[in-house]
């Protein structure tokens, strides 16, 4: 396994996480902070990545902003709270990236075809630029095939978890043309698979 040192300039891979249905309970359009509930095992799984010094970055579509259901400030506050909840288990997410847009509906300010709405890889590219990441050595964990497709757009590995919408999305793999690199029951199983892959290959 490749072990970074303080002198090592090789770009690191990261683990990118979807939010709703992957690390927190799926509630539709999250609009209240008291709706945020970590899924079982999520904090422990993220802590495993933290202990290996693997960057953990959240990538989420938040079209509720465009639809006028929530504000960007609410999205930011929800992510601050999420990290406070994780901190209770000594875990943390290193950075957060979100897309507030929708291509067809909502407020004019946010109604646009953008490069950051999943499955477009714009947020991955933003994160890679900011943190000097090697996307081809990275992984994306999510409960939708758009997460998998986004990963594969940049030659990262896409993992579909069966939490959230995952079971329904799994049924669409044959007709969607999108095939996950791995299917896991939840984030805990996904992280264990990632750590095994890294040990064997990096």
Structure confidence by residue, pLDDT tens digits, 38-94: 999 999 999 999 999 999 999 999 999 999 999 999 999 999 999 999 999 999 999
- Spell 95-107 as b/e; 16+ CB within 10 A means b: bbbbbbbbeeebe
Q: Which two tokens stand for residue 161?
A: 């978890």
Model confidence pTM above 0.85 = yes
Give residue 7's pLDDT.
Answer: 44
**What percentage of the chain exceeds 90 in pLDDT?**
89
Give residue 202's pLDDT.
Answer: 64
Other CB atoms within 10 Å distance of the CB of residue 67: 16
Tell me which architecture the domain covering 15-201 has in CATH.
3-Layer(aba) Sandwich (3.40)
> Which residues carry out catalysis?
18, 20
Give residue 107's pLDDT.
Answer: 86
How far apart, in Å, are the Cα atoms of 78 and each of 66, 74, 107, 122, 131?
Answer: 17, 6, 21, 22, 22
Task: Considering only CA atoms, give the Rg of the chain.
Answer: 16
Q: What share of the chain is helix, strand, coil (3-state, %, to 5)?
A: 35, 15, 45
pLDDT band at 2 (very low <50, low <70, confident <90, very high): very low
Mean pLDDT for 137-161 is: 98
Query: Tokens 């892959």 label which residue?
Result: 197
- In a 13 Å sphere around the CA of 199, the CA atoms on its Cβ side amount to 8
């Amino acid at each position: 396994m490749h072990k970074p040192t303080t002198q090592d300039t090789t770009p690191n891979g990261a683990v990118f996480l979807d939010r709703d249905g992957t690390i927190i309970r799926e509630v539709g359009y999250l609009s209240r902070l008291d709706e945020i509930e970590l899924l079982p095992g999520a904090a422990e799984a993220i802590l495993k990545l933290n202990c290996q010094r693997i960057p953990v970055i959240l990538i989420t579509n938040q079209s509720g902003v465009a639809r006028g259901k929530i504000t960007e400030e609410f999205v930011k506050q929800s992510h601050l709270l999420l990290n406070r909840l994780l901190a209770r288990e000594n875990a943390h997410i290193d950075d957060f990236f979100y897309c507030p847009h929708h291509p067809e509906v909502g407020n004019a300010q946010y109604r646009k075809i953008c490069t950051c709405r999943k499955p477009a890889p714009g947020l991955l590219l933003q994160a890679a630029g900011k943190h000097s990441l090697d996307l081809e050595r990275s992984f994306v964990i999510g409960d939708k095939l758009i997460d998998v497709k986004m990963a594969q757009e940049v030659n990262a590995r896409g993992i579909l978890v069966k939490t959230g919408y995952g079971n329904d999305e799994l049924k669409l793999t044959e007709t969607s043309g999108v095939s996950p690199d791995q299917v896991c029951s939840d984030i805990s199983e996904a992280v264990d698979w990632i750590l095994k892959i890294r040990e064997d290959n990096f």
